Amino acid sequence: MAVTVSGCASTGGTPSPGPAHRTQLSERLLARAARAPLVVAHRGSSATWPENTLPAFRAGIEEGADMVELDVHATSDGVLVCLHDATLDRTTDAGAVLGQKGIAVRGVPSVELDRFDAGSYRGPSHAGTKIPTLAAALELIGQHAVPMVEHKDCAPEAMLDVLRATGCADAVLVQSFDWAWLRAVRALAPDVTLGALGSGELTSERLAEIDSLGVSMVHWSASSLRLADIEALHARGYLVCTYTVDAELSLLGCKAAGLDAITTNVPAQLWMVLRRE
């Protein structure tokens, strides 16, 4: 059963001692993960739906995701929108509409986004799908699962403004590969649950740096995460998630390794594997 929140209402929370920054949300996720790994829908159910769109998020929820991951960029007028890439080329028709390649999300005002089709690259049945705002995504996801919001390009203050305006500050996990950005968020908002994204060798130096961030989750590449890393992170109190795993045997191996959460493009397939076990 998915971890749900009552909309995006505030849950409060006080951190407990130790490297991992504990919140009520992270405690709830830890309790759920003790039964089975959390299913994280990567950009929604993105294997078959247009990634980072409301239909993909909805499909991920319907397929049993406990958490729905999405990516966030700021437009030229500061509106936060859901898109993975820094440019609009790969997942929208912005190039054809504007007659120009390599258009940066950061260079386009939000009012222009409704002109672009963000679904047709997945097939004609998805034509007309739009790029959603972060606020719209939180409204949809927060009723059914925990939003996992990945910072790509926006100021910490802009992210926090949206979370607070939507009442989601205590009900969302915010993550980034930019650890300096995470430090800035932590300084501004001790109530927000954070995750550190990374890859490569998890050395003692990197573990020490993670301990300084004030995060609750470590979200690491499946290609470089080792069993010893999982043990070390669990000993420090962290939720441990890995990305991005789709193959059935790999999903089964992630469960056997004792991971708390698994990020996948195929949430329905992960649920099938977990149910079989």
Structure confidence by residue, pLDDT tens digits, 44-66: 999 999 999 999 999 999 999 99
What would the pLDDT profile of 243-274 be if each residue is shown by its tens digit? Answer: 999 999 999 999 999 999 999 999 999 999 98
User: Given a cut of 80, is residue 144 above it in pLDDT?
Assistant: yes
Give me the pLDDT at residue 275, please: 83
User: Given a cut of 90, is residue 8 above it in pLDDT?
Assistant: no
In which band, very low, low, confident or very high, does the pLDDT at 224 lie, cut at 50, 70 and 90?
Answer: very high
* Percent residues over pLDDT 90 in the chain: 92
Mean pLDDT value across residues 193-198: 98
User: Given a cut of 80, is residue 4 above it in pLDDT?
Assistant: no
Contact between residue 75 and residue 152 where contact means Cβ atoms under 8 Å apart: no
Give me the pLDDT at residue 12, please: 40
What would the pLDDT profile of 65-81 be if each residue is shown by its tens digit? Answer: 999 999 999 999 999 99
Residue 98: which residues within 8 A CB-CB, separation 6 or more? none
In which band, very low, low, confident or very high, does the pLDDT at 276 lie, cut at 50, 70 and 90?
Answer: confident
Give me the pLDDT at residue 7, please: 53
User: Given a cut of 70, is residue 1 above it in pLDDT?
Assistant: no
Compare 218 and 275 and report the one with higher pLDDT: 218
Mean pLDDT value across residues 205-231: 97
Average pLDDT along the chain: 94
* Percent residues over pLDDT 70 in the chain: 93
Give me the pLDDT at residue 231, please: 97
In which band, very low, low, confident or very high, does the pLDDT at 141 lie, cut at 50, 70 and 90?
Answer: very high
Mean pLDDT value across residues 199-203: 98
User: Given a cut of 50, is residue 5 above it in pLDDT?
Assistant: no
pTM of the shown model: 0.94
Residue 171 has φ and ψ, to the nearest 5°, of -120, 15
